[in-house]
Amino acid sequence: MGTARTLVSLTVAALTLASLPAIAQEETPTTQVDSLGISTPYPGVAVEAGDQASFDLNIVAPEPTPVQLEVTNLPEGWTGVFRGGGFEIDGVTAGPVAPEVSLDIGVPVDTADGTYDIGVAASSGGTSVSLALRVRVSAQAGGEVTLTPEVPGLRVATGETASFNVELRNDTPSDLEFELSSAGPAGWDVTAEPTAEPQATTIQVDSGSTAQVTVAATAPPGVESGQYPVSLQASSPDAQVQTEMIVEIVGSFSIELTTVDQRLSTEVSADGSSEIPLVVTNSGTAPITGIEMTATTPSNWSVTFGEPTIAELGAGQSAEVAATVTPSDQAIAGDYVITFSASSDEANTTVDIRTTVNPSVVWGLVGVALIVLTFVGLAWVFRRYGRR
């Protein structure tokens, strides 16, 4: 019984092993080549004068056979080089599986636009085959590299950073690596870096692809309002492009308010009005218009301004405004605070001035008079009743 089972197992194993070559043969098809042949997937290409046209060649033969290669009908001044395995070659061993072979055609820089027909001859023993190739020379064939800002101009206030997004497009037949550089007016901080790789200074752009570049421009403090150019340059051994953007500085808005002598305290009389000379200064970098002068006072006090509205104040300019302060009739001697304000649509500021109220001169004279009368009365009393 055991012997029968063993014989069955051996028979199955033998049949399985016998079928493996057939299975392998079915899964690995072979290419049937009947004769020497040469072809290329792209027999016609277009290049610029001074550029190079490359053709991938497929050379096959029924069995491994040495094949000699030659470029035919090559225009004067043009060059043709066969390459394979990292070398310049004159021939190749062809078989059912085509080896990797390419042909580089060098086009002189002074070549006129037009279409040029050349050929490739492959020979082995007494057999020779040829391949017709066509090169079209055109000034537009090489493609171009472009830099295009998403927005060509930005408006920012002084101290703010203008950030531009720029598209770098490579429409040439080659993958290119670009070095990025940027420039701006003297004193400006301008940087350029790949958007996807901050702090990098180079960027790789494949043929037919695009990449994003970020350009950041910051003006120095105190720069005047106006329009300023910043530029971006992308350079590679084969191409160099540049674009320019505009940063418009609208200026900063700031107001300072103080007194002529910079003192923030003053004295007023309880029985009259006093004048406080104020100074309004535009400490920003852009003109400020419609500056309104106001004051917040203690109860029943009043403040009037010689010039309640300043029509316009240029950057760095100052204007003197007289403020007349009138205390309340019930104001007693002591210290009070008046808040003065200078306000416009662009900026505003305030300053607190401590105001000391002095007693009225009239009441002082009355006091002096009472004292004098007191002494006179005492003198009269002593003179009349002193001898008794």
- Please provide the average confidence, as pLDDT, over all residues in the chain: 86
Share of the chain above pLDDT 90, in %: 63
Least confident piece of the model among 52-66, 136-150, 173-187: 136-150
Q: What confidence tier does 14 reach under pLDDT thresholds 50, 70, 90?
A: very low
pLDDT tens digits, one per residue of 192-239 = 999 999 889 999 999 889 999 999 999 998 788 889 999 999 999 888
Residue 237, in any domain of the structure: yes
Residues 262 and 185 both lie in one domain: no
DSSP string, 311-366: EEE-TT-EEEEEEEEE--TTPPSEEEEEEEEEE-SS-EEEEEEEEEEEPPHHHHHH
Residue 14, in any domain of the structure: no
Residues 256, 251: Cα–Cα separation, whole Å: 16
Structural domain ending residue among the three candidates 249, 277, 311: 249
φ/ψ region of 290 (left if φ > 0, alpha if ψ in -120 to 50, else beta) reads: left
Give Cα 63 distance to the centre of its chain: 61
Count of domains forming the chain: 3
Provide the domain limits for residue 118.
37-137
Q: Which residue type sits at 344?
A: S
Residues 121 and 157 both lie in one domain: no
Q: What is the pLDDT of residue 273?
A: 86
Residues 221 and 274 both lie in one domain: no
Q: Find tokens 């082995």 and name the residue.
A: 124
Residue 382, in any domain of the structure: no
Q: What confidence tier does 15 reach under pLDDT thresholds 50, 70, 90?
A: very low
Q: What is the pLDDT of residue 23?
A: 38
Residue 188, in any domain of the structure: yes
H helical segments located in the chain: 2-27, 361-385
Residues 288 and 233 both lie in one domain: no
Asked whether the predicted pLDDT for residue 22 surpasses 50, the reply is: no
CATH number of the domain at 161, please.
Answer: 2.60.40.10
Q: What confidence tier does 369 reach under pLDDT thresholds 50, 70, 90?
A: low
Q: What is the pLDDT of residue 28?
A: 38
Backbone φ, ψ for residue 176 (5° rounding): -130, 145
Asked whether the predicted pLDDT for residue 31 surpasses 70, the reply is: no
Q: What is the DSSP letter of 95?
A: B
Residues 237 and 296 both lie in one domain: no
pLDDT tens digits, one per residue of 114-161 = 999 999 999 998 899 999 999 999 877 777 899 999 999 999 988 889
Asked whether the predicted pLDDT for residue 41 surpasses 90, the reply is: yes
315: how many CB neighbours lie within 10 A of its CB? 18
Q: Find tokens 């020979």 and name the residue.
A: 123
Residues 357 and 262 both lie in one domain: yes
Residues 117 and 210 both lie in one domain: no
Residues 222, 271: Cα–Cα separation, whole Å: 47
Please name which of 264, 265, 268, 266 lies closest in space to residue 331, comparing C-alpha atoms: 268
Residue 9, in any domain of the structure: no
Average pLDDT over residues 41-62: 92
Residue 175, in any domain of the structure: yes
Residue 49, in any domain of the structure: yes
Write out the two tokens for 262.
């910079």
